[in-house]
Amino acid sequence: MNKDNKYDIVVIGGGHAGIEAAAIAAKMKCKTALLTMDFKTIGVPSCNPSIGGTAKGHLVKEIDALGGAMGFLADQAGIHFKMLNISKGPAIWSPRCQIDKDLYPQVALKYLQSLKYLDLVEGLVKEVKLIKKKIYSIICNNGTELTAKSLIICSGTFLNGKMFTGRDVSVGGRFGEQSSENLSDLLENYGIKRGRLKTGTPPRISAESIDYGRLDIQAGDMNPAPFSYLSNKVENKVLCFQTETNEDVHTELRKGFGDSPMFNGIIKGIGPRYCPSIEDKINRFADRDGHKIILEPEGLNTNSVYVNGFSTSLPKEVQINALRKIRGLKKCEILRYGYAIEYDFFYPYQLKYTLESKILPNLYFAGQINGTSGYEEAACQGLIAGINAAAKIKKLDDLVLKRSDAYIGVLIDDLVNKSTEEPYRIFTSSAEYRLLLRQDNAKYRLCDYAMKYKLIPKERYNQLKSEQNIIEESLFETKNIKIKADDINSYFIQIGETTLIDSTDINTLSKRPGVSLEHLINMTNAKPKSLSSIIKNKELLNILNIEIKYEGYINRQKKEIERFLHNEEKRIPVNFEYNSLSSLSNEAREKLMKIKPESLGQASRISGVTSSDISVIALFLR
Amino acid sequence: MIINDTITALATVPGISGIAVIRMSGDDAVKIVSNCFRGSAPLMEAERNTIHFGKIYSKNYLMDSVLVSVFRNPHSYTGEDTIEISCHGGNTTYSLIIDELISQGARQAEPGEFTKRAFINGKLDLLQAEAVSDMIHSVSVSGSIISARQLHSGISTKIKKFRQILLDACSLVELDSDFSDEDIEIINRKDLKEKAEEVLNFCTSLIESFNSAKIFRSGFYVAIAGFPNSGKSTLFNSLLGRNRAIVSQTPGTTRDYLEESILVSGVAVKLFDTAGLRETEDAIEIEGINFSHSVLSQANIIFVLNDISISEEHSDSLYKKIQEDYLAQKVYLIQNKVDRLPSLPEINKNAYISAKYGEGLPDLFNIIRTEIEKNKANINDILINERHLILLKGAAEAIRRAISELDYLSPNEIIAIELHDAARYFGEMTGQAWNEEVLNNIFSKFCIGK
């Protein structure tokens, strides 16, 4: 550890955001300290034992493309890998893996310890002071004192955390752990506005008490693929199982509604609409007689099983009675009851796109403190905050990803401009240009940014560029290779496709549903350079296939992006007097003055600002 | 930011007229006018919505006796203090007054600037601003009425309703993509297709009504065609009620086409007299015949005139050819010069007229009136303009593609792209989706003074 405790960057909190922020800042050669209550809880998955999923898998791939840790850590701790939505379009294919929840913190700790510029420090923040508007001084309960040029706060659900099970209320940031009270008040004293949110977690049950014979198996993929380019191979080591709730279960649950902190007004924070508790689900979808439940093992050396889809804060006896009415869980034993947690967050409109506070200089916020939900959402913010904090110290440009660059860009743009009323979760539908923002091309989309900040090795960058080249050239080559009708018709008859009359290029042919590009390339005798190399690489071939099949739509989205960027470049002066425009609605005026959008495009995405408000501003700017 | 600098412009058409109206708007409108106005009471204290008689002076030199109307912020068209000066018409008076107002601190307004201010100050929404522009450019009574209706009430309700249907469909598709592994109901593609078809039908019916509504904006076109010397120009003059075309015995007299307007059933009817159609070597006449064809292709009605004194069947081949060449037009064969016949044929196949003596002309007007009424019947209360038409066509295409992608079993994200696209077109129509070009177009169409 640094002798004088003077750092470039101090990261408060060792969750998924904190890990990324600290690691990337250290990689960018800033003297960094990660301050956590307990080394052993670094990277603990508080809720589900999995990383990735619909749209979240995209985030993990993007984090990996920018030199982040999450994908690499998940690969090492992963025990069940699955590409979701494979039956749907390629834009929403999303990788997910189950992780060993005990192993994940271990690999995370080992990874952080291996970083030369990073110190890990234990302590609970008692006081934060900004000295001469330049240096942050952080004083901990245990007497530890640190100073930093930049401070990144990644405190998760620990700010004034309160946990609820039925009428039982306890203080803490996670089961069995204390919460952090001082920090939230300190920040508020600096004029930063806070609110309250709620999230929940389901019960864990013991593996021995489950009747597996009565459940449906959910296996991992045959050929599991890792998240990270740094990982060679991953393996499936466990199975997941599926069951569902029924009317009897719902009846049991309803018995506890009177004692539910969600319904009796004890919990005031607003919960996530999209990851609702089971009591919320049966309340809101009253006509449904069952909800899907997935049983996910929490690790290789534990008998704890996570009951996915059964998040609840109902009283303990209601939880157990209801669970035991579910198929396969008749004799189940609860190891830990589900609970809801309520915590402070800070309104993210107070942030710049770099995640730096608009109110205090060199203070960054990342993760659940910004009102998001999910490990992946937290991690990508940690990464961006870390890169920007380091870039500022190294006098490099800000890193601001646009909505057309990455899901990360979509997420941060939404956070800053859309008022969070509930925990924010990423969706594929949040991304306007999702045919371009796929999980398979994240590494290509972001490699120029990664190289700019030296987040990936030069060789990796060169390799990505050459792969991109092969794909582009192959795309071109497919338009020039024609296949004669006689040569292809027998294949078409075999797969039930309309036969050809004239010879046709393989680009056109492979756009037909059910026609295999690989087959067409293999039929070609004299293969041009790029096609002959791409045919040997399954991954690149798959990308080429997508690029051809959806070429028309991909090109349309590229056109739309041009339009989008045009509006992003229409600058609004910082001192624009919204007050003098009487026709703006009060809500729009208030939001615009609060957020101070940099461009017309940004203004148009602020919730409460209508298109007629934008027209007024646009006319005025001309 | 100076928003309320004072602008001025002539609000009426320049040229010879009884009176001319000069408009002024801005913080200093009243002050500037009162500097050069002498009336019975000082203008500065004038109440809102009052009219004052007085004289306008420039450096003690009397320019005109005028009426000054005073409107006070926000009770005016622009929402600012506004003055309208009614002065005498002619080309010089108003321009001298405007010069004086400018020397007192006003600024010449840009085209559409009054309406732009009304918009910025929340007096009009985008659709209403557009309706103002349509009203100014409308050539018919009904056109203005429909534009006015659009100006005062929300015609966009219907469009908004269908946009909402599209948006709901989009969110269903999105839900299906994002919650596939959770337990929220999966969309039914059959229902989705039905919804898309419902919206498509709405689009196509509006597009059809545009073609009918066109007569209100650009007028109803009636072209007179026929062989040389069949009496086209004579008919043209008779319908017009005055001598406009040169009439002579020499075939090929009309080289160019002539165009004049009359009002029938509240719609501007544009009459076109075309060059006689015949094989000719005369270069000017050939050019004239080419013009004739371009006029015919735009017409709503074509009257093919036959000289019955030659024979009743003399123009049959020409009539047939025109019918075949101009499928979108209503083509009528008209027998002219019945005054030269001893008696009318026993079997009346066609309209029989004497253009020269005005016989049978009411029949022709009836034909025109009937066609206009047919067009009117096609129009519902939504009158769309060219911009709406382009957007509707875009939306219709997007929905058609969405339907074919649905049939093709394409993935959700593709369907979503098309539905979002269609919804965006609808949004641009009502101004719910912001588009810079829309804004530019609407305000660039205005003339100065509006």
Percentage of chain A surpassing pLDDT 70? Answer: 98
A386-400, B41-55, B117-131 — most confident range? A386-400
The highest-level CATH class for domain B7-123 is: alpha beta
Give the one of A285, A428, A583 whose C-beta lies nearest to B178's C-beta: A428
Which whole-number Å values give the CA distances from A596 to A353, A589, A599, B122, B279, in the listed order? 12, 10, 9, 22, 72
- A611 touching B (Cβ < 8 Å): yes
Q: Where are the alpha helices (DSSP H) in A15-150?
A: 16-27, 56-65, 70-77, 103-113
- B397 touching A (Cβ < 8 Å): no
- Beta-carbon separation of B409 and A513 below 8 A: yes
- Beta-carbon separation of A92 and B1 below 8 A: no
Question: Using CA atoms, how far apart are residues A399 and A270, in angstroms rounded to an integer?
Answer: 31
pLDDT(B155) > 60 = no
First to last CA, chain B: 23
Q: Which of residues 313-352 of A touch B (CB under 8 A)?
A: none
Give the one of A84, A576, A612 whose C-beta lies nearest to B181's C-beta: A84
How many other CB atoms sit within 10 Å of the CB of residue A301? 8
- B8 touching A (Cβ < 8 Å): no
Q: How far is B193 from chain A (nearest CA, A)?
A: 18
Tally C-beta pairs within 8 A across A and B: 109
Give the one of A577, A582, A611 whose C-beta lies nearest to B1's C-beta: A577
Rounded mean pLDDT of B397-407?
94
Q: Suggest the residue from A559, A582, A609 to mutate for an interface test with chain B (most B CBs closer than 10 A).
A: A582
> What is the average pLDDT score of chain B?
82
Please name which of B28, B90, B26 lies closest in space to residue B64, comparing C-alpha atoms: B90
Yes or no: say if A602 and A564 are a contact pair by the CB < 8 Å rule: no
Question: Using CA atoms, how far apart are residues B146 and B85, in angstroms rounded to an integer?
Answer: 29
Residue-range domain boundaries for chain B: 7-123, 129-209+383-431, 223-377
Q: Closest chain B residue to A285 measured between Cα atoms?
A: B184
Place of tokens 């930093």: A148
- Beta-carbon separation of B120 and A616 below 8 A: yes
Q: What are phi and psi of B328, to 5 degrees?
A: -80, -10
Give the one of B122, B432, B443 whose C-beta lies nearest to A583's C-beta: B122
Q: Which of A132-136, A138-142, A325-329, B240-244 has the lowest mean pLDDT?
A: B240-244
The highest-level CATH class for domain B223-377 is: alpha beta
Give the one of A88, A309, A583 whose C-beta lies nearest to B411's C-beta: A88
pLDDT(B408) > 70 = yes
Question: Using CA atoms, how far apart are residues A81 and A94, in angstroms rounded to an integer?
Answer: 11
Give the one of B181, B412, B417 whose C-beta lies nearest to A553's C-beta: B417
pLDDT(B11) > 70 = yes
- Beta-carbon separation of A89 and B413 below 8 A: yes
pLDDT band of residue B152 (cuts 50, 70, 90) is very low
- Beta-carbon separation of A611 and B411 below 8 A: no
Q: Suggest the residue from B27, B176, B182 to mutate for an interface test with chain A (most A CBs closer than 10 A).
A: B182
> What is the average pLDDT score of chain A?
92
Q: Crossing angle, helix A407-417 and helix A56-65, to 10 degrees?
A: 110
Q: Closest chain B residue to A428 measured between Cα atoms?
A: B178
Query: Who has greater pLDDT, A570 or B241?
Result: A570
Q: How far is B110 from chain A (nearest CA, A)?
A: 13
Rounded mean pLDDT of B216-238?
87
Angle at A272 (CA atoms; ends A270, A278), nearest 5 degrees? 105
- Beta-carbon separation of A582 and B431 below 8 A: no
Residue B2 with chain A: CB contacts under 8 Å: none
- Beta-carbon separation of B178 and A556 below 8 A: no
Residue A55 with chain B: CB contacts under 8 Å: 178
Residue A513 with chain B: CB contacts under 8 Å: 408-409
Q: Report residue A342 CA to chain centroid gap.
A: 21
Q: Which of A280-294, A482-496, B31-45 has the lowest mean pLDDT?
A: A280-294
pTM of this prediction exceeds 0.90: no
Angle at A306 (CA atoms; ends B177, A313), nearest 5 degrees? 90
pLDDT(B1) > 50 = no
* CATH code for residues B129-209+383-431: 1.20.120.430
- Beta-carbon separation of A88 and B412 below 8 A: yes
Q: Closest chain B residue to A576 measured between Cα atoms?
A: B1
Residue A290 with chain B: CB contacts under 8 Å: 183
Q: Suggest the residue from A84, A87, A92, A287 to mutate for an interface test with chain B (most B CBs closer than 10 A).
A: A92
Question: Using CA atoms, how far apart are residues A505 and A520, in angstroms rounded to an integer?
Answer: 10
Tell me which H or E stretch contains B272: strand B267-273
- ipTM for the predicted complex comes to 0.83
Question: In one letter, which amino acid is A142?
Answer: N
